[in-house]
A and B are shown apart, each in its own frame.
Chain A
Amino acid sequence: MKDERDFFKSDGHINDVFTAICSDRLKAEREDLIPSEIRLHLENCEFCRNSVLDIFSSTLSSVENSSQNLSLFNEPEPVRRSSSYRFFLRTAATFLALAFISGIYLIMDNDEPVSIKLTQNRKEITIVNAGTESQNRGIIQEKISDSDSRKEVAFLSQKTPDPFKDNPNLEYMVDSPHRGRLINIISPEFRITDRGKIIFKWENHINKELELKILNNLNETLYTFKAKGSIVEFKGNLSPGLYYWKLEDKENLYHVGKFLIEK
């Protein structure tokens, strides 16, 4: 039996040789051959789990050429359609064109938005018309309900998230008094009029260097700034939508705010 000191460095983490051994054993799916002392350590030490996973990932052969190459985020493959289906599409398109022209005719005397919805078997077509003269071109959206498994795999790319929708995971933290005692926010306001320049300003009672993060409504960090003072001027061009921002350091989250960039 090996002495525990053989596995670990003086700082208590797994040494280089055994980090490499763990990665090898995991790659060979023989994690049972990893010494139990190391397995117990890995259970509790995120630092070492990171190291092992890092080495494992870096030596993982790419599956680029594999037949099972399935991309999580790629666009779905085009659906192959039969000739009768194509005929149906052509007929539907003609019908739609007629419906569209009649729609325009109707709207000329009507300020209300018009929405026509047709459903037939696997296909659902929605025509949305904003109802104003300049937008009378209309938008046609097609949704094909297909349970193709490849589409299921690539479903993430099909999501078209609403950029103005609240994010419940962040929403409950916004302006929370429990977090904000040490920080007094001065700006920005909720509605941003000048989207090219946003000033984040606060009174800081903790005298720590903070990090300011700007996130979109999917909780994805878009920008990170190091802020030694208590003001950060953001110059950029954020597209219209709802954004969140955070003030934090390594240990604590001090403030979560949100702002809206209108269309």
Chain B
Amino acid sequence: MKIEKECSVKDIIDKKLYPCEKFPRTLFPDLVSILTELFNKYERANIIKNGENEIPCTEDFEKKIYQTISLSALLNNDPGTLALIYKDLIFKFIFKRHANKEDVEEIVQEIITRFLHKKIDAIRRRFNFDNPELPTFTSYFMVTVRNIYIDIIRKETRGGHLVENEMEIEKLSDNRKRDMLNTLILEEEFKKFKTLIKLYHRTGPKLNLTLKIKYNIPISDTDILSCFPDCSEDEKNLFVDKSGNYIKNRRSMERIVPIFNKYEGKSNNPDTLRKWISTKLEEIKRQMNNIHPGSPYNNSTISDLIILYYKWQKNQGV
């Protein structure tokens, strides 16, 4: 009976309460064991308290699981366990920003302490699990973690713990950098880059088109039309070279600047467009570096990433 019950607890956790799609086990490795243990503890306590033999395996049983280990139950009754579930995620978040493991442990502890003592009430008040318009709890929780982290760093910097006169504030040995570079997973980087481009709501299509031209990536009809939906056939032909293929040469910028000018109501020259691309590239590089330790992207690696990204996108049939 006991084994059967443990199976059903795990099933409910896996299939209903914390499905892998929403709680990937790579991010929440100990989730099932922590929650099963918590539920067993609760069950034992109940037996002692009420003199019951065992909680019967009925609908009540499932209800009891929900009442004990669902996210809202944990938020309201057992925030310590909630923090424990998210500890790995917090650790990874901080580890991306700090080289020293001891520093990371210390910051993670501080974040959890502040979450439990200062933020928990506000989250309980603001977060409603029944409201579909609200974000997922994980995203909301990570925004809170990020805010606490920024607060900690800001205070430490002001207090002079991190920055001292003529003190080396950042030193990444070649080995450390190499290790870090080795951990970069290409596909994840593509997803981040893709997301970043999406955040350029209006200029995203222009960015895609010009980056492709800059890096000699063949462009397509879709690229042109998403940038210039009202583009005429004649104008589209300006993107086609002598051999009838779409241009993929940065020198062709001269030919297409008039189209940009027409649809943007400007009178820029090719250099202005080139400068615009450079500025955007700098922004992209900066933002891609912000989500990694030690700024792995320089001009060369960001270019390589972009070229590979478009090849990957083509292979994906996007």
Q: Interface residues, chain A, CB within 8 Å of chain B?
A: 16-17, 19-21, 23-24, 26, 31, 36, 39-40, 42-43, 46, 49-66, 68-74, 153, 155-156, 169, 218-229, 232
Contact = CB atoms under 8 A, between A and B. Distances in A.
Contacts of B181: 72-73
B170 A223 contact: yes
Interface of B: 24, 26-27, 89, 92-93, 96, 126, 134-136, 138-140, 142-144, 146-147, 163-172, 177-178, 181-182, 184-189, 191-192, 195-196, 198-203, 283, 286-287, 290-291, 295, 298-301, 304-305, 308
Contact of B182 (A21, A65, A74, A224): A74
- Ranked nearest first, the 9 interchain pairs of A and B with the lowest CB-CB distance are A20-B135, A61-B24, A20-B139, A39-B201, A73-B181, A20-B140, A70-B186, A21-B135, A62-B26
Given A17-B135, A53-B291, A218-B300, A225 B187 contact: no
Given A74-B182, A169-B299, A223-B170, A57 B291 contact: yes
Contacts of B203: 43
B186 A219 contact: no
A46 B288 CA distance: 12
A57 B142 CA distance: 11
A51 B142 CA distance: 10
Given A17-B134, A20-B142, A40-B202, A63 B170 contact: no
A49 B287 contact: yes
A58 B92 contact: yes
A222 B172 contact: yes
29 contacts: A16-B144, A17-B126, A17-B135, A19-B143, A21-B134, A24-B135, A26-B199, A36-B201, A40-B201, A40-B202, A49-B199, A53-B287, A53-B290, A58-B92, A60-B188, A62-B27, A63-B187, A69-B187, A70-B185, A71-B186, A72-B181, A72-B184, A72-B185, A72-B305, A156-B304, A219-B298, A219-B299, A223-B168, A232-B166
